Structures are given as C-alpha cells and as structure tokens.
Amino acid sequence: MIATRYYVTTAIPFVNAEPHLGHALELVQADVLARHRRLRGQQVRFLTGTDDNALKNVTAARAAGVDVGAFVDTNAERFAALRGPLDVLTDDFIRTSGARHRAGVHRLWRRCAARGDFYRHTYEGRYCAGCEEFLDDGDLVAGRCPEHDAVPETVSETNWFFRLSRYQDQVLDAIASNRVRIVPQARRNEVLGFVRSGLRDFSVSRPVQRSGAWGIAVPDDPSQIIYVWWDALANYVTALGYGDDQTDYRHWWRDGDERVHVIGKGILRFHAVHWLALLLAAGEPLPTHIAVHDYLTVDGAKLSKSAGNGIHPLDLVQRYGVDAVRWWLLREVATLGETDFTVDRLVRRADADLAGRLGNLVNRVVTLVEKYRDGRVPAAADAGEHGQRLAAAAHDVAGDVDAALARYDFRAAIAAIWRLVDGGNALVEQSRPWELARAERAGDVAAAAALDAVLAALIAACRRAAAELSPFIPSGAERLQRQLGCGDTVAPASPVFLRRAGPLAVES
C-alpha cells in the first residue's frame, strides 16, 4: 500500500563552488519520486537546500578573497536556481544559515545533552577537509582519502564528542530489521558490516578559532561551533519546524508514513549511522528509507567541484533541452555502479527514445486519427489479439512503475513505460491502419470497425504512457498530453521531440 504522507529529501550540498551534474541527478531522482506520489494522489512534501555552515565554504571564500556570508549567499542561490530549469518542483528549500535551522539544531543538541550523550575530549587525528571528517587508517588508501585523493591533515583539538557507541545495537537492529530500509542491497550490506565492526564515539564540535566563528554555536559553550555534519543532518527535521515542534514536523516526520532520504554513496555512513543515532538519542522517529545513488563520471573520473570537471547542468539544459537532460539521468544512470557521462550519449539516447520511439509513435497515431477520423477518437472496441496485448500493457504499467520506484529503480520504471510505447509501435506495424483505411474506402465495413478499434487502442495507450511519463519528463509529457487531447478529440499533429544527428534540437 502506498503511503498517504510521503516526505522525500535530497542531501544538502556544500556551497564551496558551483553545482555540477551530480547534484542535478539527485534533484531529478527525488523529483520523480515526489511527482509520482502526487500522481497517485498522495500527500507529498519534497525538501532540498544547501549546507551553508561547512568549513570548506569558509576556506573557499577566503581563497576567493570574498566575505564568507556573501560567498555563501551567491553560491546557495546557484543551487536554488537549478530547480526551475530542471523542472524540479520542491515544496521547500532550506539553508542551514537560517534562523529556523539554528533553532532546530539547538533543540536537537539539548535533547541529546539531556541524555548525557556528550562529553569533552582532546583528540588528535587525520582530518580530510573535503569530507569534513576525521578518518581512520581503514578509511585511507595509501595514506590518502579515497573520496578526494588527498592526504588528510593532522589535527589536534578539544571538542565535544557524541556517544555513538551507546547506540550501536539500536542502529544495527533498525537496519537489519528493515525498519530503516537502505537500497540498493549492496549499500545496506556495507552499512551493516560497518556497524557490526564496532561504532566509536565521534567529535560533534570544532573550536571557534578553527571555523572562523562561522556556523552554529554549541549551546552554553560559545568557544565551540557545532560540527557541520551534525548540524547539516538536522535539516531534514528543522525544515519542518522541529525547533518549536510545529504542525509540519508532527505531520510529516513524527506521524508521517514514509520519510525518505535520497543521497550519494559518499555520505552513506553519516545518514545511515550518525543520523540514526542522533535521532535515537533525541527520542525522535527514524527515516524509513535511504535511497543511495552512485557517482557520475567523466572519462572515468568522478564529477567533482574541486577537480574542475563538474559539468554544469544548466549549460546542458540550455543546449539540449530539459527533457533530454532528465531523460539521460533517469534512463542511463545505473542503480549500482558508476555511470560515465558524455554529450554524445545524452544526444543519442534522446534521439533514439524521445524523438524516435515515443515521439514518432504519438505523431503517427495523432496523424492517423486526423487523417482518417477528422481528429475524433473512435469509441473503444476489440482491437484483436495485438490490441488486447497493448491494452493489457496499458493496464499493468501503473503497477509496474509503482513496484520499480518502490525499489528506487528509475530505469526499471522507465522500462515498464517503454513496454507500452513499444507495444504501440508494434500495433501500428501489425495492424497497418493505412491499409484498413483503404479497405474502408472500398466499402469494407469490417475494415472500418477494425480501424476504429486500432485507433482507439493506440490513443488510449499513448495517453497512458504520457501520464506515466509525467514524473520523469514533466515538460515533454505535458506537450504529449496536449497533442493527444482529451475525451474524443486530439490536437493537430506536430513533432513534440525533434531529432538530429549531433546536438539535440531544443524542443519548442
């Protein structure tokens, strides 16, 4: 049964540089989940935002010779501006430099402190600025952080520590029992192995001197700033008014049916271990699902702001159209394992699928209805064996899409819709409506009835496909739906998706 209250979030990125295509991937995936649930009539809230308080934001601002606040504001706006061009429809956008977030973080801290879960400790370790995390020997490869290919700096500090070890059994039970469901299975196994190896307490604050006083001060200890990950993870509840226990928090988190985080694999431990422990310490409900995606690469190298290979998604949208960009991210990116991006792959996939199989089908079907029935859709009738197969595919597609997205398998969901599209193309070739029309003109009554049945079946299938595609390519699906019309009429035929060998034509 689909949940009645569905809360879905992305991770909130650091704003030390401009966004890249990897950020677009996560936004689009979460947007599909939110739109799909809205399509099914569910209550949905979709949150994204920015992590303004990271030390790496401070470092980047200093390197640029810019005031930290101005630097963070400028880059946060660039992330916020991704939503419109990518057809991403959010309900909220939180910035962690805001007052509602600060109030919620302080409340969460005090709830944990009341349980005796914090203590001061002097610690020396190797700190990766890219991860904003102290790393153990087992985390390093040849002495370097594998995530950022950098040698961590040695840092000695006196900080507040959180008793993560106290919650090892509870975190393990939550994941092993699937009370918190982590997908794909390989990522779940990874987290279970990490927890079973033993959880160690971790630092949850930094000295004010090191952070330049940027961030949220520890309650009752102005010498310390709350560690950025502890601070950032709280955004999922502070955005709902956790700071003063607002109605939204109670409705979407405390009493909600599904609480879903869509994140990249590099921050899995923070979400699947640290975040669960913080919520347990505060006596709050846990997320129900953590959906993990792998990385995009360019020429085999991970997309990265610091590496300078971060393809800007807005440039792609401007050149090739939002449908092509969203389609590649959802159709091509693997559920597990890295996916290499090239412009050629984006263009070829959009040409083959959107302009070729889908666009060609809809344009042909609408043209046939215009030509042979003056734009009026015939009443549904038995279209024979092939038509029955198409009708069965149209009937099954919603359930197949539901099942695939319940597994967070976007490619499988599209494949379910594509079975319907391919079935429509097959029916056109098998029934040959132009030959039925020729026979009808010669006085063949049976051919006329068969043509009515085929056209009705094709329009019904195309309309169903367009509806199911609306979470994936909202703009393209809307154009398809306008062309397919409603009731017993269709709009004049015109190409919805344009094809060209080379950069994809921007849709009109």
Task: Write out the catalytic residue numbers.
Answer: 20, 23, 128, 131, 145, 148, 302, 305
CB count within 10 Å of CB 495 equals: 16
For residue 28, which amino acid is it?
V
Neighbours of 2 (CB within 10 A): 14
> What gap in Å lies between CA 346 and CA 260, rounded to an integer?
28
The pair of three-digit structure tokens given for residue 158, joined into one six-digit string: 């006196």
The C-alpha atoms of residue 234 and residue 108 are separated, in whole angstroms, by 8
**Where is 118: in which H helix or E strand?**
strand 118-128
Residue whose structure tokens are 């520890």: 218
Residue 354's nearest CA partner among 462, 473, 471 is 473
Amino acid identity, position 495: P
Q: Using only the alpha carbons of the chain, give its radius of gyration.
A: 26
CA 106 to chain centre: 29
- Bin 173: left if φ > 0, else alpha if -120 < ψ < 50, else beta: alpha
Comparing C-alpha atoms, which of 1, 9, 43, 36 is closest to residue 409?
36
Local structure of residue 303 (DSSP, 8 states): P
Q: Are 381 and 451 in contact (CB under 8 A)?
A: no
Q: Which amino acid is at 2?
A: I
Dihedral angle over CA of 292, 296, 300, 306, nearest 10: -100
